[in-house]
Structure 1
Amino acid sequence: MISPRPLTAEAFRPFGDVLEATGEPDRLINQGLCGRFHDRARLNFGNGRAGVSIFHAVPRSLPYQLDMVERHPEGSQAFVPMTQAPFLVVVAEGAGAAPGPVHAFVTAPGQAINFLRGTWHGVLTPLHAPGLFAVIDRIGEDANLEEHWFETPMMIG
């Protein structure tokens, strides 16, 4: 069984970015009433364009059975929760034809994530209702989804 750990920027860096407002803002804007935490994600849309979609996912619970991961070879993908509820983030090492070792994280309130282009990851997995997210990813003509189904599902708990 894979035990999910708290999501930190350092642990997640090989797979993407943790988007959160920590520390002091990079600058104050809007007459000094808004802190801007500037340029926090390594977005990459290849030959496509950035799009913002809204996803409404069914909440899951732990332990969670992981039977498939996916990746987007043509662009990054950011999941931005529209609530303060935590969600499960599953990633796998490796950029080859099949994913490598799997890692799992649970977000804290106020955290969002951005998967780097080509990163193997689990599907959007909210742990509480409503599973409402803004998703920023590549919109384009080329196929941008590869799935890998595990012969033996893994338990995350």
Structure 2
Amino acid sequence: MKTLTIEPLTKEAFAPFGDVIESEGRDHFMINNGSTQRYHNLGEVQLDEDGQGIISIFRAKTLEYPLQVKMLERHPFGSQSFIPLFGHEFLLVVAPVGDGSLNIDPSTVRAFRANSRQGVNYHRNVWHHPIMALRDDDEFLVVDRTGPGNNCDEFFFDEAIQLSVELD
């Protein structure tokens, strides 16, 4: 069993998996007669030709830690973004796209902790754990795809990866 080290979420470290949605350190320009700073194009909504972009709210329960990561999922037809609505930290477990098969090398799995001002946009086909809230009934604004086809593949590990998290 492998224990994952939880890394701080940074734009550079998360680049192979998607976009970090945050204003910190990002360029902006003024709009609305100078009353609003716009941090433009922080993530790309990726959709296939048959899908539509949708906006949802997910309300998540806290998982039990230490967590045994037994599965990851991916969305082949569109990206998926999570933006915390209550400003709480949350966890991410990801693996690269790989060769396109339904297989994940456990040695490539990484874990991140998003701070209270960050969201993420998983690119198409990036393997990730379902939402990992650190507080019960936390809510996330989710931008993803709806449309025809099965847009959720799941991969189950032969041996669980142990993810240990020390909560405050």
Residue identity in the other structure for 2:70: D
Residue in 2 aligned with 1:53? 56
Displacement after TM superposition at 1:63 (Å)? 2.1
Residue in 2 aligned with 1:34? 36
Q: Is 1:82 aligned with 2:85?
A: yes
Name the CA distance, whole Å, in 2 between partners of 1:122 and 1:154.
12
Q: Which digits, 9 at most, give the CA deviation of each residue in 1:30-89, with x for residues without a partner? A: 221211000110211112010011111111254221111000001100011111111011
Residues 15 and 24 (structure 1), Cα distance of their counterparts in 2 relative to 1, 3 Å cut: closer
Name the CA distance, whole Å, in 1 between partners of 2:101 and 2:11.
24
Q: 2:102 aligns with which of 97, 101, 115?
A: 97
Q: Is 1:141 aligned with 2:144?
A: no
Residue in 2 aligned with 1:117? 124
Name the CA distance, whole Å, in 2 between partners of 1:24 and 1:113.
15
SS of match in other structure, 1:136: strand
Name the CA distance, whole Å, in 2 between partners of 1:19 and 1:112.
5
Gaps of 5+ in 1: none
Displacement after TM superposition at 1:18 (Å)? 0.1
Residue identity in the other structure for 1:150: F
Residues 24 and 153 (structure 1), Cα distance of their counterparts in 2 relative to 1, 3 Å cut: closer
How many residue pairs get matched? 157
Name the CA distance, whole Å, in 1 between partners of 2:26 and 2:101.
38
Task: Please give the root-mean-square deviation of Cα atoms over the aligned residues, in Å.
Answer: 1.3
Q: Is 1:73 aligned with 2:76?
A: yes
Identity %: 37
Cα contact 1:12–1:18 (8 A) shared by 2: yes
TM-score normalised over the length of structure 2: 0.89
Q: 1:12 aligns with which of 11, 14, 29?
A: 14
Residue identity in the other structure for 2:144: D
Displacement after TM superposition at 1:143 (Å)? 1.1
Residue identity in the other structure for 1:97: L
Gaps of 5+ in 2: none
Cα contact 1:18–1:114 (8 A) shared by 2: yes
Displacement after TM superposition at 1:23 (Å)? 2.6
TM-score normalised over the length of structure 1: 0.94
SS of match in other structure, 2:88: coil
Cα contact 2:84–2:116 (8 A) shared by 1: no
